[in-house]
Amino acid sequence: MSLNLDTLRLQIDSLDHKLIALLNERAQVSLDIGAAKKDAMDPQDEDNTHVYIPGREKQVFEKVTRLNPGPLAPESLCAIYREIMSASIALQKDVMVAYLGPVGSFSHDASIKRFGDSVQYASQGSIADVFDAVERGRCQYGVVPFENSIAGSVVPTLDKFVKSKVKIRAETYLPVHHYLLSKTTTEAIRRVYSHPVALAQCQTFLNEHLKGIELVPCASTSEAAQLASKEKFAAAICSQVCAEIYGLDILHANIEDQQDNTTRFFIISDAWDAPTSSDKTLLMFTVDHRLPGALCDGLKVFKDHSLNLTKIDSRPSLLRPWHYVFFVECAGVHGDSEVMNKVIAELHKFCLDVKIVGTYPDQRPQDLN
């Protein structure tokens, strides 16, 4: 039996009418939820109401994936729901998200994939500026790179956590693919701009194709594209989207050393979210380096409570030479849990300045586990 095209289009029109009605009905319920939150809290705290709830977001995406019968791919359906939730957030409250810019940076991409197109964004010139925007209340949330699967930890982010009062509210992972963009040919390039981490991720390509060429570090990959667009014999290593934004040609694609290159970002704010079924917690502390085994004793506390450590890092404390702050991330525990309270109490026996930097739903993609 042949399908009638006009009949099918009428069916689509009918479904669109129903979808629009249902989407607005859902939006109204979202507004009612926002009103209920305000009614339940102290009026003086109204400005501090959080409308971005990463734990609830994770539940929605898991439910959508579980209920999806196809033919839409789970990723496509989640992308649709990302925008539905973004619009709901914007209805409840004006939200401003700070990110390391300019437009086209990987931080910008990670921000949009986390918050959608309906909230407002504020480009910042450095990671420190993102922290500052959140600390001073100019932005409710900030998105900062934390670590890369090839280049390791992002040092400016770690350094800001040492002194900052912001909290980690969520994490997000972004597959990273680098492109060589320019207005000239590969053979004519005299200078390459990019973020230091991006340069480190493309060493094999650079050694093979641009050995001896000047490499200029920038605050972000999109700033690199911006600079390269103004020079005749310059190039930038950045994302594909920068080609269109800054009028550059794609000379080489996917030039990263490893194709599974991934960057983890943190969403920072003034508070973390409530516990979920699977959380991670990042702590930092110092130890008295004059006491033999002090660090070992501190780390053993996590083992004694059967907590798996997923990351350990250190940075100079800047209090005195050769004195370090240690960062430890553990999985399967929330910062407000009874277990974590016991861990912190025991850590104080061996460690100094113990502090929870953040606690957040575990959103590590399954293919990275």
Do domains 95-175+259-271 and 275-368 share one topology? The answer is: no
Q: What is the pTM of this model?
A: 0.88
pLDDT for res 208: 95
Q: How many CB atoms lie within 10 A of CB 156?
A: 18
CA nearest neighbour of 84 among 143, 170, 26: 26
Structural domain spans, the chain: 1-93, 95-175+259-271, 179-255, 275-368
| DSSP 3-state of 119 | coil
Contacts of 202 (CB under 8 A, 6+ apart): 178, 194, 237, 255, 256, 257
pLDDT for res 317: 85
| DSSP 3-state of 202 | coil
Query: Could you tell me the two tokens for 41?
Result: 């809290």
Q: How many CB atoms lie within 10 A of CB 356?
A: 18
Query: Could you tell me the two tokens for 255?
Result: 């030039």
Contacts of 32 (CB under 8 A, 6+ apart): none
Residue with tokens 């995406």: 61
Domain topology for 275-368 = Alpha-Beta Plaits (3.30.70)
| 179-255 CATH | 3.40.190.10
First to last CA, the chain: 48
Say what angle helices 74-92 and 106-115 make with each other, to 10 degrees: 80
| DSSP 3-state of 32 | helix
Report yes or no: 235 and 120 within 8 Å, Cβ to Cβ: no
Contacts of 2 (CB under 8 A, 6+ apart): none
Beta-bridged to residue 314, according to DSSP, are 326
What's the maximum distance between 2 C-alpha atoms anywhere in the chain? Answer: 84
Q: How many CB atoms lie within 10 A of CB 362?
A: 15
**CA separation for the pair 47, 50 (Å, rounded):** 9
CATH entry, 95-175+259-271, from 3.30.56.10, 3.30.70.1290, 3.40.190.10, 3.40.50.300: 3.40.190.10
Burial of 369 (0-12, 13-18, 19+ CB in 10 A): exposed
Q: What is the DSSP string of 211-269?
A: TT-EEEE-SSHHHHHHHHTT-TTEEEEE-THHHHHHT-EEEEE--SS-TT-EEEEEEEE
**CA separation for the pair 136, 268 (Å, rounded):** 13
CA nearest neighbour of 364 among 289, 318, 308: 308
Q: How many CB atoms lie within 10 A of CB 368?
A: 11
Q: Is the peptide bond prior to 196 cis by the omega test (within 30 degrees of 0)?
A: no
What CATH class is the domain 1-93? mainly alpha
pLDDT for res 124: 95
Q: What is the CA radius of gyration of the chain?
A: 23
**CA separation for the pair 365, 355 (Å, rounded):** 27
10-residue stretch averages of pLDDT, the chain, 369 residues long: 82 95 94 82 63 91 94 94 93 93 92 94 95 96 94 92 95 95 96 93 95 93 95 95 95 93 95 93 89 88 94 88 91 94 92 93 80
- Give the strand order in the sheet containing 179-182: 214-217, 191-194, 234-238, 179-182, 249-253
